[in-house]
């Protein structure tokens, strides 16, 4: 075998081992200070009466020291910076793009190498993400934020279509609050007006008005998703 053949074999071996290492190092953590560490296997433990912690190969961190992480089941965000360091709340990434969508989940189902879901265990299956709830989002590698009017107007303001649907989302939310308050007011008035309570047409009207906000719940969620998708659409003239 000549020198050229030896060189080609060495290069091929290097590529093989580099690829194998890259594929194996699929787990990673991003610390609250921004440091990123990759490894072979990420595990999570929550001992009784002790702080939960993550272990990546030989490294260990308290749960609230981790901002984002990835294991065999997906990419996740720690919500402690939103809900407090004493909380154990996590969200899984359900959509990628300029903005990434996250849905809050019960992390105990996702924490192992395989999902802790088994045939026939319907209650456990319900703990899996539906892929339909846009609870949180992040811009690139930035921290995650709650998908609400204030945050999305700040981050999506460059897209006029997104702004339209975010504004419509807020209008529906205000309408829901107004209808609920009006319905409860009518019901309270009719209840205290009577000495011996009876279910009157006026009380029924108050009940209907109180339940009416439920009709706006689905369109309100759709507005948030449409705003998100509009922001993630490729810009005209770019590839």
Contact 139, 80 (CB under 8 A): no
pLDDT of residue 154: 95
Tens digits of residue pLDDT in 146-186: 999 999 999 999 999 999 888 887 777 767 676 667 667 77
By three-state DSSP, how is residue 188 classified? Answer: helix
- Condensed to tens digits (0 to 9), the pLDDT of residues 83-93 reads 988 888 999 99
Bridge partners, 78 (sequence order): 90
Rounded to an integer, what distance in angstroms lies between the CA atom of residue 164 and that of residue 108? 38
66-71 and 74-78 beta bridge pairing: antiparallel
């Amino acid at each position: 075998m000549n020198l050229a053949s030896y060189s080609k074999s060495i290069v091929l071996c290097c590529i093989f081992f580099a690829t194998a290492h890259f594929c194996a190092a699929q787990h990673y953590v991003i610390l609250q200070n921004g440091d990123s560490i990759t490894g072979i296997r990420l595990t999570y433990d929550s001992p009784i009466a002790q702080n939960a912690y993550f272990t990546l190969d030989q490294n260990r961190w308290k749960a609230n020291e981790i901002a984002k992480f990835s294991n065999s089941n997906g990419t996740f965000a720690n919500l402690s910076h939103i809900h407090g360091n004493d909380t154990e709340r996590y969200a899984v990434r359900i959509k990628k793009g300029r903005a990434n969508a996250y849905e809050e989940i019960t992390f105990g189902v996702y924490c192992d190498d395989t999902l802790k879901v088994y045939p026939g265990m319907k209650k456990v299956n319900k703990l899996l993400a539906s892929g339909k709830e846009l609870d949180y989002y992040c811009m690139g590698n930035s921290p995650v934020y709650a998908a609400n009017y204030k945050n999305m107007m700040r981050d999506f303001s460059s897209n006029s279509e997104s702004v339209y649907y975010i504004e419509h989302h807020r209008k529906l939310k205000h309408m829901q609050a107004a209808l609920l308050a009006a319905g409860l007011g009518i019901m309270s008035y009719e209840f205290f007006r009577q000495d011996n309570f009876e279910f009157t047409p006026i009380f029924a009207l108050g009940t209907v008005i109180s339940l009416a906000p439920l009709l706006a719940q689905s369109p309100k969620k759709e507005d948030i998703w449409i705003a998100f998708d509009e922001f993630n659409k490729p810009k005209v003239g770019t590839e």
